[in-house]
């Protein structure tokens, strides 16, 4: 069965190193918490708010430990610019093949992005 794993983080500055570092940390936790292997992943979508344009956050996927991540399709897009939306935010939607029930998927929110879904960000 296919399931989505949500992740989100924010950056303090619009610079490539911050974008890649914060995205990598979020991805690593998504993978670890959900026992995901690169071969389980159908694709990963990354979206950014309009203030982030110094780098593609998808490049962080290639920084993960396993060489197999280079085969996972990744794509970036810009979020809808809602005036009241969270600024400097990177969102991740990882689509995986898994037998884990939706209620047991661990979604990961870092930094200011915790406020997007505090109900999912809290761990038991």
Q: What is the pLDDT of residues 16-75, one digit of tens each?
A: 999 999 999 999 999 999 999 999 999 999 999 999 999 999 999 999 999 999 999 999
Q: pLDDT value at position 81? A: 93
Q: Is the dihedral of CA 39, 106, 94, 20 positive or negative?
A: negative
Q: pLDDT (tens digit, 9 = 90+) per residue, 89-103?
A: 999 999 999 999 999
pTM of the model as a whole: 0.94
Instruction: Return mean pLDDT, the chain.
Output: 95
Contact between residue 86 and residue 112 where contact means Cβ atoms under 8 Å apart? yes
- Please compute, for residue 76, the number of CA atoms within 13 A of its CA located in the half-sphere on the CB side: 18
- Say if domain 2-119 classifies as CATH 3.10.129.10: no
């Amino acid at each position: 069965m296919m399931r989505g794993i949500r992740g989100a983080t924010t950056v303090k500055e619009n610079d490539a190193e911050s974008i890649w570092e914060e995205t990598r940390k979020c991805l690593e936790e998504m993978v670890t918490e959900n026992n995901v292997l690169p071969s389980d992943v159908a694709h990963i979508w990354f979206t950014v708010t309009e203030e982030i344009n110094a780098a593609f956050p998808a490049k962080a996927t290639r920084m993960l430990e396993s060489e197999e991540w280079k085969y996972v399709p990744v794509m970036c897009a810009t979020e809808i610019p809602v005036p009241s939306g969270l600024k400097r935010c990177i969102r991740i939607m990882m689509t995986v093949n898994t037998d884990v029930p939706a209620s047991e998927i661990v979604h990961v929110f870092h930094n200011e992005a915790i406020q997007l879904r505090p109900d999912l960000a809290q761990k038991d």
